[in-house]
A and B are shown apart, each in its own frame.
Chain A
Amino acid sequence: MSYSFTLNGQPVEATAAGMTSLLSVLRDQSGLLGAKRGCGEGRCGACTVLVDGSPVDSCIYPVANAEGTAVRTVEGLASHDEPLTRIQDALLEHGGVQCGACIPGVVMTLTALLETESNTDDSTVRSSLTGNICRCTGYQKIIDAAQAAASSNGGPR
């Protein structure tokens, strides 16, 4: 089967069995290695991408469900010759990145949060992050970064 959607703003057509995970399509067909297969079972969130603005675990998200949607990955936030987005920059400024394997997913979850939620108090940020496991940081600096990025003006960039 063939499925059409936009990937980071560009129209794409993916040919795969409908139950193929969106993550496999991204990594194996589109050459986008940002989203990670941390568990492959919908538990760690390292594979988080945005489908029509909402975070999903792409490792268990059938590509068939992406038909007609807008898919965004970490690579689509700021291209290489552009400055970092506010959340990307804040994560570095606040020391929220260690090994970084969880970070592509964390960045997407927090991007969605900043785009949709005006309230970014500690518990809101924390609950938005419960689907993203970070084994390194203890989360505090990621939360600090999210709150700092939210309190600077404008949208996510």
Chain B
Amino acid sequence: MTLVGTSARRADGEDKVRGAARYGMDYLEHGTLVAKVLRSTVPAARITRLDCSKAASMPGVRAVATAADAPGLSGLMIVKDQSLFARDVIRYVGEPLAAVTADTAEQAEAALAAIDVSLDELEPVLDLEQALAQGTRLIHPDWESYETAMPGPREGNLAWETRVERGDVDTAFDTAHLVVEDEYRTQRQHQSPIEPHAAVARYEQGRYVVHTPTQFPHNVRGRIAELLGIRLSDVRVIVPTIGGGFGGKLDVMVEPFACVLARKTGRPVRILNSRSEEMTTCGPRENAIVRLRTAVASDGTILAQDGVVLADNGANSSGETVAVANVAPLVLGGTYRIPNARYASKVAYTNTTPTAAFRGVNGPYCVYAQEQHLDHIARELGMDRKELRMNNLIRRGESMVNGQQLDDAFLVEAMDKVDEIRPWQDAQAERRPFRGVAVVPLTWLTNPLPAAASVKLEEDGTATVTCAGAEIGTGAVTTGVLQIVAERLGLRLEDVRVSPTDTDTGGFDGGAQGSRTTYGMGNAALDAATKVRDQVLEVAAGMLEAAVDDLEIVDGSVRVSGVPDQQVAIPSVVGTAMFDSGPIGASGKFATPPIPFDSGCMAGAAVTSFPAALYQAHMTEVEVDPDTGRVTVLRYVVAQDVGRAINPQMIEGQIQGGVLQGIGYALFENLRLGDNGEVIDDNLESYRLPTAADAPPIEAAILENPCSYGPLGAKGAAEPPIIPVAAVIGCAVADAIGKPINELPLTPFAVLQAIKES
């Protein structure tokens, strides 16, 4: 029986198509109160008065919470600069000032309106570059007092910086044949899962029990605890069905409000974002500026690169922007050989909504910049764009900018596969006015965070997996992990189930992020399943009076290899074990092995390497309407190395979905900010998401280049398809109109303007 490698149906699928799955937004408890949050309407101010006494005595109001109820400072992993409620200072439009819980939503809203707030407004700092300019007002005057998880360069409005430096950059620039310099600007992109953030909390036996559709339950547990100033084990996070996340549900968002109010009232409290709250207060992908300067030889060999990435943190470090800042240099220097490099990735505070993780963190805009820049170099040299890339591509055994040797590099193979599907020469030969073509290779990582899982056998011979892995929708838990366990145990897929995600019962898991669930949780579950299998064989060997090595598990029975009539069914093995060696079950765990890299070349880096590195190439052909500026993606080809394809259909789904999110980012998604730093696009009319009409045909080739420490060779698959999309579309549009555009998104207006200027 081979389950791994088959496109098995997802175990949670029937309930989803029947409308029976219970999502976070559907979850309710008996007697649940409604919570609403009062948020700032100004971007920067000192709070001179916040009086909730009138609100607290209004009809139906059960409790009001303010900064005094949540004394902790927190942040996503690195810089602890976030309080749940604004204390004396307001730093962005949308910052929480107070929260109310009442019997009905109307009563809670009425109470919010009755809270008396007086402010002294401050001059807001909204612009990324202005934030770092000399003499600009400090958004966090107390920045030095904040606790950090590690040392790193930071000062004033520079929330964090990471640096990578290798080789002799200045000499390379001095002696180069050609030096090319460019600047690129990119926008905010909102995750916009169909399910908004929602949470129900209750306070029982001195602990907080929170139901929330989060991607990363253990992170939410820890972040609630930090914000409230309590022990993390005093919080229990239970995860209902998750209605999408894409990075937007990695971090704590509405949960702590429900917790504080549940404690104050002794009642379950529910908070559910409206779409507008979702768009305006839940951190998007950061806007960024990327400056690249590159030295090349006359044959196009890259000699050196000097790059600065400026990313907008927003008002605090509650999102992932600081934690993953070093992904920028690694992705800039992970695909091509760059022997001499100097990169700085700077994350700046502004008086805007904090930015956060969105699938492919930092990647899409860095790759967009790098690839437009390479096309600029190719133009200067009069060189074929693909040839320039192939000549500089990292090959097996060569190193990334951090000194990490890529022994399994598969970039050439990915480029070749794409070329097989749509030969570059043909695409060039068939060029027509206002049609463009481009191809982009990419190295990316699998998130390396650890995982724990346990597996037990039930008396009926079925298996149950218990873990805190979150099923974000990819199928990584409900197909991938289950396929791996079923295969190892010799059981049918339908005889293996996973119990609901719960931080009390499941060990630590690094969350559904960075394509890590099949890899990390898959490894932990495989470890547990292997131990369970050993126990089964041990007991069965005694029952069959055979050696363990002679046994195999087939179709739910243990048998002596080659002697089919000498067998025992698994339930009877479980029954025998029960009173003999004890119930069958085991825990498994996984941590990514250390990845060798040159630690001396980096400062401030929380992400230091690309574990379980994976390789891909994207190719597209586009057409531009010269009258309207509209870009149509005619064809899109992906070749992606996944290590080992556990469920090919699910992987294809990740590729198709990721590419379409990338097309939205490339062509129209743009979460705009107004003159007060407020989010303008607070609805799905002005923030347009890709529809079925925007989806081009996508051809996906899955490549298998096994990872030695991945489960059965698997590495990440779900995150990366979004990353090169804006890059390859940007290059193809530039090819179509004969002119680069150094800013995203490539709206009809921007494209038309570029055509007119040329």
> Hey, which bits of chain A sit against chain B, CB under 8 A?
32-41, 43-44, 46, 73-75, 77-78, 80, 84, 88-89, 91-104, 107, 125-127, 129-130, 132-143
B194 contact from A80, A92, A133, Cβ within 8 A: A133
A46 smallest CB distance to B (angstroms): 5
Residues of A contacting B299 with CB < 8 Å?
A: none
20 other A-B residue contacts (CB within 8 Å) besides A95-B652, A138-B655: A34-B19, A36-B243, A37-B25, A38-B195, A39-B275, A43-B683, A75-B19, A84-B18, A88-B17, A91-B13, A94-B649, A98-B474, A99-B244, A132-B692, A133-B689, A134-B692, A135-B657, A135-B661, A141-B652, A143-B692
A95 contact from B18, B193, B650, B695, Cβ within 8 A: B650
Residues of B contacting A142 with CB < 8 Å?
A: 692
A95 smallest CB distance to B (angstroms): 4
Instruction: Flag whether B21 is at the interface (Cβ < 8 A).
Output: yes
Determine whether the beta carbon of A95 is less than 8 Å from that of B194: no
Where chain A touches its partner, the secondary structure class is: loop
Provide the bound-state CA to CA distance between A84 and B20, in Å. Answer: 12
B192 contact from A32, A34, A93, A135, Cβ within 8 A: A135
Residues of A contacting B472 with CB < 8 Å?
A: 99
Given A99-B242, A137-B656, A91 and B19 touching (CB < 8 A)?
no
Which residues 1-60 of B have a CB within 8 angstroms of A? 7, 9-10, 12-14, 16-23, 25-26
Determine whether the beta carbon of A36 is less than 8 Å from that of B473: no
Closest B residue to A33 by beta carbon equals: B26
Instruction: Flag whether B274 is at the interface (Cβ < 8 A).
Output: yes
Instruction: Flag whether B429 is at the interface (Cβ < 8 A).
Output: no
Provide the bound-state CA to CA distance between A39 and B244, in Å. Answer: 14
Provide the bound-state CA to CA distance between A73 and B655, in Å. Answer: 31
Which residues 185-200 of B have a CB within 8 angstroms of A? 191-196
Residues of B contacting A129 with CB < 8 Å?
A: 691-692
Given A135-B246, A137-B656, A126 and B19 touching (CB < 8 A)?
no
Residues of A contacting B151 with CB < 8 Å?
A: none
Residues of B contacting A93 with CB < 8 Å?
A: 9
Instruction: Flag whether B475 is at the interface (Cβ < 8 A).
Output: yes
Determine whether the beta carbon of B684 is less than 8 Å from that of A44: yes
Instruction: Flag whether B698 is at the interface (Cβ < 8 A).
Output: yes
B17 contact from A40, A91, A95, A135, Cβ within 8 A: A91
Determine whether the beta carbon of A46 is less than 8 Å from that of B194: yes
The total of chain B residues at the interface (CB under 8 A) is: 55
Determine whether the beta carbon of B17 is less than 8 Å from that of A92: yes
Determine whether the beta carbon of B685 is less than 8 Å from that of A43: yes
Q: Which 10 A-B pairs have the closest CB atoms?
A: A34-B19, A99-B473, A101-B243, A100-B16, A138-B656, A74-B19, A43-B684, A101-B194, A138-B660, A98-B473
Provide the bound-state CA to CA distance between A141 and B700, in Å. Answer: 13
A97 contact from B13, B246, B658, B684, Cβ within 8 A: B13
Instruction: Flag whether B693 is at the interface (Cβ < 8 A).
Output: yes
8 contacts between A and B (CB under 8 A): A36-B26, A95-B650, A98-B657, A100-B12, A100-B241, A101-B195, A136-B657, A141-B653
Determine whether the beta carbon of B695 is less than 8 Å from that of A36: no
Interface centre among A41, A43, A44, A140 (most CB of B within 10 A): A140
Determine whether the beta carbon of A100 is less than 8 Å from that of B659: no
Given A92-B14, A101-B195, A135-B244, A35 and B19 touching (CB < 8 A)?
yes
Provide the bound-state CA to CA distance between A121 and B349, in Å. Answer: 50
Closest B residue to A73 by beta carbon equals: B19
A119 smallest CB distance to B (angstroms): 16
Determine whether the beta carbon of B9 is less than 8 Å from that of A104: no
Residues of A contacting B23 with CB < 8 Å?
A: 36, 101
Which residues 652-704 of B have a CB within 8 angstroms of A? 652-653, 655-661, 683-685, 689, 691-693, 695, 697-698
A83 smallest CB distance to B (angstroms): 10
Closest B residue to A133 by beta carbon equals: B689
Determine whether the beta carbon of A107 is less than 8 Å from that of B25: no
Determine whether the beta carbon of A136 is less than 8 Å from that of B10: no
> Hey, which bits of chain B sit against chain A, CB under 8 A?
7, 9-10, 12-14, 16-23, 25-26, 191-196, 241-246, 274-275, 472-475, 649-650, 652-653, 655-661, 683-685, 689, 691-693, 695, 697-698
A8 smallest CB distance to B (angstroms): 11
A108 smallest CB distance to B (angstroms): 9
Closest B residue to A128 by beta carbon equals: B692
Residues of A contacting B191 with CB < 8 Å?
A: 135
Determine whether the beta carbon of A138 is less than 8 Å from that of B194: no
Provide the bound-state CA to CA distance between A14 and B185, in Å. Answer: 53
Residues of B contacting A134 with CB < 8 Å?
A: 194, 692
Provide the bound-state CA to CA distance between A78 and B660, in Å. Answer: 31
Residues of A contacting B25 with CB < 8 Å?
A: 36-37
Interface centre among A32, A130, A138 (most CB of B within 10 A): A138
Given A36-B243, A43-B683, A92-B10, A98 and B653 touching (CB < 8 A)?
yes
Residues of B contacting A74 with CB < 8 Å?
A: 17-19
Determine whether the beta carbon of A99 is less than 8 Å from that of B243: yes
Residues of B contacting A100 with CB < 8 Å?
A: 12-13, 16-17, 21, 241, 243, 473
Determine whether the beta carbon of A130 is less than 8 Å from that of B17: no
B698 contact from A127, A132, A140, Cβ within 8 A: A140
Determine whether the beta carbon of B9 is less than 8 Å from that of A80: no
Determine whether the beta carbon of A84 is less than 8 Å from that of B689: no
Provide the bound-state CA to CA distance between A98 and B21, in Å. Answer: 12
Provide the bound-state CA to CA distance between A125 and B21, in Å. Answer: 25
Interface centre among B17, B193, B691 (most CB of A within 10 A): B17
Determine whether the beta carbon of B275 is less than 8 Å from that of A38: yes
Given A99-B243, A103-B17, A127 and B693 touching (CB < 8 A)?
yes
Given A40-B274, A41-B683, A140 and B195 touching (CB < 8 A)?
no
Closest A residue to B661 by beta carbon equals: A135
Determine whether the beta carbon of A99 is less than 8 Å from that of B194: yes
Provide the bound-state CA to CA distance between A125 and B693, in Å. Answer: 10
Residues of B contacting A103 with CB < 8 Å?
A: 16-17, 19
Provide the bound-state CA to CA distance between A127 and B26, in Å. Answer: 29
B164 smallest CB distance to A (angstroms): 34
Residues of B contacting A75 with CB < 8 Å?
A: 18-20
Provide the bound-state CA to CA distance between A35 and B19, in Å. Answer: 7
Determine whether the beta carbon of B195 is less than 8 Å from that of A36: yes
A141 smallest CB distance to B (angstroms): 6
Residues of A contacting B698 with CB < 8 Å?
A: 138, 140
A35 smallest CB distance to B (angstroms): 7
Determine whether the beta carbon of B195 is less than 8 Å from that of A39: no
Provide the bound-state CA to CA distance between A46 and B19, in Å. Answer: 11
B695 smallest CB distance to A (angstroms): 5
Residues of B contacting A95 with CB < 8 Å?
A: 7, 649-650, 652-653
Residues of B contacting A138 with CB < 8 Å?
A: 653, 655-660, 695, 698
Residues of A contacting B649 with CB < 8 Å?
A: 94-95, 141
Determine whether the beta carbon of A80 is less than 8 Å from that of B18: yes
Interface centre among B10, B243, B275, B474 (most CB of A within 10 A): B243
Provide the bound-state CA to CA distance between A99 and B718, in Å. Answer: 13
Provide the bound-state CA to CA distance between A37 and B25, in Å. Answer: 8
Given A130-B693, A136-B244, A99 and B19 touching (CB < 8 A)?
no
Provide the bound-state CA to CA distance between A80 and B18, in Å. Answer: 8
